[in-house]
Structure 1
Amino acid sequence: MAELILFNKPFKVLSQFTDTSGRATLANYIDKRGFYPAGRLDYDSEGLLLLCDDGVLQQRIAHPKFKLWKTYCVQLEGEVSHDAVEALREGVKLKDGLTRPARLKALKEPNFWDRTPPIRERKSLPTSWIEISIQEGRNRQVRRMCAHVGYPVLRLIRTHIGDWSLDSLSPGQYRSLRVNLPNAGSSKPPRGRRRKR
Structure 2
Amino acid sequence: MEVFNKHRHFVIYKPYGYLSQFKSHDSKQQSKKFLGTLHDFPEGTMAIGRLDEKSEGLLLLTTDGKMSDFINSRKVEKEYYAQVDGNISEVAVNQLRSGVEIGFDGKKYQTKACKAFKLNKVPNLPERSRKIRDDRHGPTSWISITLNEGKFRQVRKMTSAVGFPTLRLVRVRVGNIHLNSMHIGSIVEVDRFF
Interval of TM-score (by shorter of Structure 1 and Structure 2)? 0.7 to 0.9
Give the CA deviation at 1:14.
0.7
Match among 30, 44, 62 for residue 54 of structure 2: 44
1:3 to 5, 8, 18: 8
1 CA distance for matches of 2:41 and 2:111? 36
Distance 1:18 1:94 in 2: 30
Report the aligned-residue RMSD.
1.4
Structure 1: gaps (5+ residues):
186-197
- Partner of 2:148 in structure 1? 135
* TM-score, normalised by the number of residues in structure 2: 0.87
Residue identity in the other structure for 1:83: V
Could you report, residue by residue, the CA deviation over 1:4-37 in whole angstroms, capped at 9, with x for unpaired residues? 2001000000101112422111011121213111
2:95 to 87, 93, 98: 87
Identity score, percent = 37
Taking the aligned partners of 2:185 and 2:100, their CA distance within structure 1 comes to 33
One-letter code aligned to 1:114 = E
Distance 1:62 1:17 in 2: 19
How many angstroms apart in 1 are the aligned matches of 2:41 and 2:153? 28
Pick the aligned partner of 1:101 from 94, 113, 123.
113
1:115 is aligned to 128
Moved over 3 A (4+): none
Flag structure 2 segments of 5+ consecutive residues without an equivalent: 1-5
- The aligned counterpart of 2:3 is none
Alpha-carbon offset, residue 74 of structure 1: 0.6
- How many correspondences in the alignment? 179
CA distance in 1, matches of 2:21, 2:137: 38
> What is the rounded CA distance, in whole Å, between the counterparts of 2:35 and 2:16 in structure 1?
12
When normalised by structure 1's length, the TM-score is: 0.86
Distance 2:50 2:39 in 1: 15
* CA distance in 2: counterparts of 1:67 and 1:94, whole angstroms: 20
